[in-house]
Amino acid sequence: VGNSSELTCPPKSNITMVTWKISPKVGGSCTLGYRADQNKTDRTNCSDSMNWKFRPDRDPALEIWQVGIDHEGNYTCEVVATDGNFHQTYHLTVLVPPRLTLYCDDHGNPVCKAAAGKPAAQILWVLESNSTPKEEGHDNGTVTVLSTFTAYSTNVTNATCIVSHPAGNQSKSIAC
């Protein structure tokens, strides 16, 4: 989320036409097109956050700025050239790193919260505990995971929570 993404298209010489067909998971489809005979580009229902990376006659790559969850979906590039027709399809999946917080509950137990990640994060504790993570799904496809540390022994003074996620791992320690 938030970064730019570039989707490449098969580079061919003597391009006649290039079309990007974009079908997001949510919302309507959009199309970017280029015709060499008219040296003209066209866009239908596409947001300003996506456009040709350079000139479509030289490089038909698509660039998406500030990638968000709403950009998830299928992206197909179709190239018509003198030596044949070519296509490339991508399925864009957006990762959202969770926000990690660690605090002590009313009973003095450490609680680790990985909020609004996509996909759901995994929570582990450095010391063994009998905690069972709870997940809460959100309308935008993100998930919050909550885990309360319950130690097997009563003399644990410091707990470390490790959040594992495809967008990056994080850890925090606390003494309750």
Q: Is the pLDDT of residue 156 over 80?
A: no
Summarised one tens digit per residue, pLDDT across range 113-139 is 999 999 999 999 987 677 889 999 999
- The residue among 162, 163, 160 whose CA lies nearest residue 173 is 160
Type of residue numbered 95: L
**Can you give the pLDDT at residue 86?**
94
DSSP letter (8 states) at residue 53 = S
Report all structural domains of the chain as residue ranges with CATH numbers, in order of start.
Answer: 5-92 (2.60.40.10), 99-174 (2.60.40.10)
Q: Is the pLDDT of residue 14 over 90?
A: no
**Sign of the dihedral through C-alpha 135, 136, 139, 142:** negative
Q: Which residue has the tokens 């009313």?
A: 106
CB 112 within 8 A of CB 161: yes
Q: Is the pLDDT of residue 19 over 70?
A: yes
Q: Is the pLDDT of residue 154 over 70?
A: no
Q: Is the pLDDT of residue 52 over 80?
A: yes
Summarised one tens digit per residue, pLDDT across range 62-77 is 999 999 999 999 999 9
Type of residue numbered 80: V
Q: Is the pLDDT of residue 35 over 70?
A: yes
Q: Is residue 121 classed exposed, middle or buried when 0-12, 13-18 and 19+ CB atoms within 10 A define those classes?
A: buried
